[in-house]
Structure 1
């Protein structure tokens, strides 16, 4: 998975991808989905990146970054987006 991410990010066009050049480590991948959870090695932020596996130059901002934030932010994002289907918990 680390190799696919490293191969996919440089194929963006016309601007460099927001994560291009950022030292990343793949922590997890979603089964049945092309999303991966990566850690930014220099800042310890997390990002969720949706890979396309196109293997060719892509449109700007693809692969898409669905989330970037702290571990705490990710826990809340994951609960809202993945576990609750986008429904925020009651206040």
Structure 2
């Protein structure tokens, strides 16, 4: 399979097979890598202080600035695989 197919398969596994025991930090990393792979660098303004969830997601994504889409896809595939191993999913 090519990188795009691997990425699509990992995204499907992340939404359908990862358990609830995935931590918030792990979820933020998944989100940030997914957004970077699909949209590139964060181009929206930072959410306000009264939106802590949006702000955390924005901060996680913005930390990936400068990472290529291909690198983000590869890191996403690898991160999903590590979460599957860590949390015991197949």
> Normalization by structure 1: what TM-score?
0.29
Select the structure that is richer in helix.
2
**Superposition TM-score, scaled by structure 2 size:** 0.29
